[in-house]
Structure 1
Amino acid sequence: MMEKLKTRILQESSVVSSDVLRMDAIINHMVDPELTMEMGREFAARFAEQSITKVVTVESSGIPAAFTTAYVLGVPLVFARRKKTLIADPDAYCERVPSFTKGMVTDIMVSKQFLTSDDRVLFIDDIIANGDAARGLIKIIERSGAALVGMGVVVEKSFQAGGRTLRESGIRVESLVRIASLEGGEITFE
């Protein structure tokens, strides 16, 4: 699975800069259902012993991998919705998060009815770079009282601090692929 994903990344993605990798043809514009199902099976296998009750992600690029993971685990998927402005909704948890790739700040929200202290959640995302969106959703999970059992990431840019800082805070982060560098327009895997 990981080798297939690495091959696809090398064949179908493009290095935009030393910080940005465009993977539109693989995970965040066009989606390969068969490859995405394999991702879901892999995440489900890695977290199989965790008694997960829900899978969570942030819209929109995280949804395909999170959906297939939830499907394999047989649990609901909850995705944090992005809002252009913060609406004071008493029935939702909201966090303001900067987006590294979009270059802007958005608000993410999850309805309080979908995350409770009874939940054991697995957070799945497509890419982790600086981890700002991830930290926002983790704050929401903490405020809900739900237990975060871990995070699965399709691609971790390990030369940026996101994955490392989450691990240092005690969160289990499982990445399918880790990219060590995009220097000189070359993709270097860890």
Structure 2
Amino acid sequence: MKILEEKILEEGRVYPGNILKVDSFLNHQIDVGLLDVLGEAIYEKYKDKKITKILTIEASGIAVACSVAKHFNVPVIFAKKSKSLNLGDDVYVSRISSYTYGKEYDAVVSRDFLGNDDKVIIVDDFIAIGNAMKGLIEICVQAGAKIEGIGICIEKGYQHGGDDVRQMGYDVTSLAIIDDMKEDGTIIFRE
């Protein structure tokens, strides 16, 4: 998606450790107009799938998921990264290893909000090595929910998480795929 690629080139910053900072428009400060365009693009891809829920993980995926859900007119569920006292014990849990934060955590979703009659799109701002996405897939499998598609804003193609999820048989739509990031800040997108 050209508009997203241009925004990444204008405002994105490459940091050591293969980190792409897009916090000026996507995952800290949010460009709401751009977010609406991204949500509509994911909606257009899956609009004929009779989606009942949008699933993401806290925190950066929530804004994108809300934009997608607005177009489908369905609820957003976000997996919490820790189990709070008010969540109860009747939950789906997936253990996830975070590349960005260098630690493991449990992703938790209440059984009240996801079940075997749901048709789901999983949405996130990034996919790199794919651990968070695989955790969300595991939660859908536990629930018996049907995954109709996966919508990603930015895929780091060189870290192969998107490829792994596609090889698992899921339809992954990434709006911008980065094939390489150089230390000098050069970003190369997939053609």
Instruction: Specify the TM-score bucket, using the shorter chain as the normaliser.
Output: over 0.9
Shift of 1:84: 7.4
Which residue number in structure 1 is paired with residue 82 of structure 2?
A: 83
Q: Could you say what secondary structure the match of 2:126 adopts?
A: strand
Which residue number in structure 2 is paired with residue 136 of structure 1?
A: 135
Q: Could you say what secondary structure the match of 1:49 adopts?
A: coil
In structure 2, how many angstroms separate the alpha carbons of the residues matched to 1:105 and 1:22?
Answer: 22
Structure 1's unaligned 5+ residue stretches are none
Q: Could you say what secondary structure the match of 1:83 adopts?
A: coil
Query: Aligned partner of 2:168: which letter?
Result: S
After superposition, residues 1-190 of structure 1 pair within 5 angstroms as: 2-17=1-16, 19-83=18-82, 90-184=89-183, 185-190=185-190
Structure 2's unaligned 5+ residue stretches are none
TM-score (norm 1): 0.95
Q: CA RMSD in A?
A: 1.7
In structure 2, how many angstroms separate the alpha carbons of the residues matched to 1:18 and 1:144?
Answer: 35
Quick one: structure 1 residues 84 and 145, their matched pair in 2 at CA, closer, same or farther if it must change by over 3 Å? Answer: closer
Moved over 2 A (4+): none
In structure 2, how many angstroms separate the alpha carbons of the residues matched to 1:140 and 1:179?
Answer: 27
Q: Quick check: 1:84–1:106 contact (8 Å CA) kept in 2?
A: no
Query: Aligned partner of 2:15: which letter?
Result: V
Shift of 1:161: 1.5
Give the number of equivalent residue pairs: 188
> Deviation per CA, 1:150-184, whole angstroms, max 9, x where unpaired?
10000000001200000001000000000000123
Q: Could you say what secondary structure the match of 1:105 adopts?
A: strand
Query: Aligned partner of 1:118: which letter?
Result: D
TM-score (norm 2): 0.94
Query: Aligned partner of 1:158: which letter?
Result: G
